[in-house]
Homo-oligomer: A and B are copies of this chain.
Amino acid sequence: MPELRRDPIFGRWVIIASERRGRPTDMKAETLPADDKSKCPFCAGRESQTPPEVMAYHPPGREADKPGWWLRVIPNKYPALDPAGKLKRRGVGMYDSMDGVGAHEVIIESPEHVRHIADMDDKRAEDIFWAYRDRMAAAKKDARLQYALIFKNYGRAAGATLSHPHSQLIALPMVPIRVKQEMDGAQSYYGYKERCVFCDVIHEEQRFAERIVGEDEHFIAIEPYASRSQFETWVLPKNHAGHFEKITEAEVKSLARLMKSVMGKLKRVLGDPPFNWMLHTTPLHEPETPSYHWHIEIMPKMAQVAGFEWGSGCYINPTPPELAAKLLNEA
């Protein structure tokens, strides 16, 4: 008998249907296409092929847009939003419109074409999260912007057009609906329980001890109880924290090591799957609350979003998160 499980934050039900593991298309992550390193515009030495950098980590004395950097942030060549202009809102008949003001940046995580965080050294992996913090702090200075979503697309099937390791930041003039719903759900739980739902999830997962795939002093990685996709993984700070950008040096070191470990497990079990990860944090100009807790959601691209998912907002997951955790921890 399949099982329906309810996500405690959204109230979204997922169908855990182990019976469907027999389907020919399941459990087979697409492999990455071979990729032409010799033309990669993100590799060191080809800085002139990208828009001018907005930030870089490098040793003293290096010139902008020249080699020598460890990490480099550039505007997206095909930006979804435009940083210029005032934010104009207007009605269009019954509809609502505003100018597409915002930022769209690419964080090039490494000068070399090393593709996977599990294959990077610790320092390189730490720099990714420092860059996340620094670019979020930069977005915070712009009063027009309300939210900065940082995410990573890895592999063509997960939406990446280049395989060089990179993340993206899209800063928006509104709080996106998914974050709003998540914060509303957490607030509603808090109103009922007077506890943070994410803190409760962490304690509950420590008690169950069957869905944890990584843990240290500062962070925990779990396969969520109501995982939307096979091997969905969340990484959360163990102490309640609303703003990612207040992360400490010790926490960055810990997060980098844990992400390397967890992503390495996913790579070994699923064979270098395409994936997305998304950082959810409190909106730029909102204060810390006792109900909302920043976290990273990792979604290996294991199946299509098709008619059922579009139409229902529910997901069918053929691998129970307990089994996913067991497979990852054995790897």
Which positions in A face B, CB cutoff 8 Å? 1-6, 8, 10-13, 15-17, 19-20, 22-25, 78-82, 84-85, 92-101, 147, 149, 151-153, 157-161, 168, 170, 172-174, 176-179, 181, 200-201, 204, 207-208, 225-226, 276-280, 297, 299, 303-308, 310-314, 316
Contact = CB atoms under 8 A, between A and B. Distances in A.
Contacts of A276: 306-307, 310-311
14 contacts: A2-B81, A4-B97, A5-B96, A15-B81, A17-B100, A93-B207, A93-B208, A94-B200, A152-B307, A159-B307, A168-B307, A178-B311, A179-B312, A277-B307
A151 B307 contact: yes
Max chain B CB contacts within 10 Å: which of A2, A80, A85, A200? A80
A168 to B, nearest CB: 7
A297 B311 contact: yes
B2 A100 contact: yes
Identical chains bound together, number: 2
A166 to B, nearest CB: 11
A4 B310 contact: no
A277 B6 CA distance: 25
A151 B204 CA distance: 36
A24 to B, nearest CB: 7
A123 to B, nearest CB: 24
Given A85-B1, A177-B11, A6 B96 contact: yes
